[in-house]
Amino acid sequence: MPCSEFTHLDENSSPQMVDVGSKESTERRALARTIVEFPQEVAEELDCVGMRSSKGSIYDVAIIAGTQAAKKTADLIPLCHFIPLDSVKIKLSREGDRRILVECRVKATHKTGVEMEALVGCSVAALTVYDMCKALSHEIVIGETKLIEKTGGKSKYFLEEIKA
């Protein structure tokens, strides 16, 4: 018996790319977030050097890496569709002394959603922050990555905590 809930499985439970050929192109948007947490001594050093490392501006490099990753999502996730993206916006901001919030907003006019692109974008941006700071400590933690909102197509999603 096939698992009808999983759109990436066919009637024989074999993996398949979802056929979106008959779907209508609409504006699709998604926002994802990842948290990067630093040990106190790393946070203090980052404050001292103005969020720069020997490799350059930590924020700038992470923004470029996350944007590039979002555009390459179909190359990284096997059953994702290639989606020409209208916009990718990566934002990094400090939250308290020891955390950076990484957000990735993606927009496209296409037949399928862009939540995977947003999740990949913020994940790679967070990994880039880790890469640029790992000389200071390997105790940097990349925390939860989650979808915050998704619009377009036939369903919408807004994480409960931001609905209020």
> In the chain, what are the domain boundaries?
26-151
Among the four given CATH numbers 3.40.640.10, 3.10.450.200, 3.30.70.640, 3.30.540.10, the one describing domain 26-151: 3.30.70.640
DSSP H helical segments within 111-151, as ranges? Answer: 115-133
pLDDT at position 5 is: 76
- The series of mean pLDDT values per 10 residues for the chain, 164 residues long, is 59 67 84 96 89 86 98 93 96 94 96 94 97 93 96 82 51
Please state, in angstroms and rounded to a whole number, the distance separating the CA atoms of residues 83 and 62.
Answer: 22
pLDDT at position 54 is: 76
Residues belonging to the active site = 131
- Asked if 107 and 27 touch (Cβ cutoff 8 Å), the reply is yes
pLDDT at position 156 is: 83
pLDDT at position 38 is: 95
